[in-house]
């Protein structure tokens, strides 16, 4: 039989979990479809593609991260990193972080790889016209299906045309079509 102090501690833990899940619900409600797609893209290294396909809202992603113990009430930093990356800094307050705190701790606590961050940043800078031009240049090696910049980059990664140590194709595409993105590639190469 549990002692009164054990029951009290258990009750506190339950309350902490419920309060944390309430915060996740608030964050979920504030995120749009594009944000959810961004989260799915950033979590590819932690959640299988099949499970990500089933995620239609941020709560689905949060649930997988909770199950894998990548996210908890005691340590919500991974979520802070994700929110910071998708430029939803205003939501950081719900989990007790500021933009400055995330920036300062990111170097030591980063979970999303530099490469995944690079791909996310590139996807944000590739317009639909840029994407059409990129697909045109790679016509023989890219399927003729509707793609977003993120699905295009994911396809190239899955086909081993790009990787953490191989950004040559990205450099060539950006150099010819979106030169302003070369700065992001150069920064990535300096950091890795």
Torsion sign, CA atoms 67, 28, 42, 70: negative
Using one digit for the tens of pLDDT, what is the confidence trace for 14-33? 788 999 999 999 999 999 99
β-bridge mates for residue 163, sequence order:
166
- Domain 116-191: CATH architecture, name and number where available: Orthogonal Bundle (1.10)
Quick check: do 4-112 and 116-191 share a fold?
Answer: yes
**What is the four-CA torsion angle of 163, 168, 174, 177, rounded to 10 degrees?**
-120
Q: Which two tokens stand for residue 79?
A: 């979520």
| Res. 5 pLDDT band, cuts 50 70 90 | low
Indicate the average pLDDT of the chain: 93
Pairwise CA distance, residues 94 & 83, whole Å: 11
Q: What is the chain's Cα-based Rg?
A: 19
Domain chopping of the chain, boundaries? 4-112, 116-191
pLDDT tens per residue across span 103-153: 999 999 999 999 999 999 999 999 999 999 999 999 889 998 899 999 999
Domain 4-112 belongs in CATH node 1.10.533.10 = yes
Q: pTM of the full predicted structure?
A: 0.88
């Amino acid at each position: 039989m549990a002692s009164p102090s054990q029951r009290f501690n258990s009750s506190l833990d339950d309350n902490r979990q419920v309060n944390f899940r309430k915060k996740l619900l608030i964050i979920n409600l504030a995120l749009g479809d594009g944000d959810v797609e961004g989260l799915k893209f950033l979590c590819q290294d932690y959640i299988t593609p099949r499970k990500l396909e089933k995620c239609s809202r941020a709560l689905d992603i949060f649930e997988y991260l909770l199950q894998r113990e990548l996210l908890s009430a005691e340590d919500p930093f991974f979520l802070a990193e994700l929110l910071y990356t998708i430029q939803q800094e205003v939501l950081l307050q719900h989990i007790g972080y500021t933009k400055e705190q995330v920036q300062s701790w990111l170097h030591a606590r980063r979970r999303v790889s530099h490469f995944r961050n690079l791909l996310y940043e590139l996807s944000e800078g590739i317009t639909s016209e840029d994407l059409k031009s990129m697909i045109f240049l790679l016509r023989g090696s890219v399927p003729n299906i509707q793609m977003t910049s993120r699905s295009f980059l994911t396809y190239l990664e899955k086909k081993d045309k790009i990787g953490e140590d191989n950004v040559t194709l990205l450099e060539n595409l950006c150099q010819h079509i979106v030169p302003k993105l070369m700065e992001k590639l150069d920064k990535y190469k300096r950091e890795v």
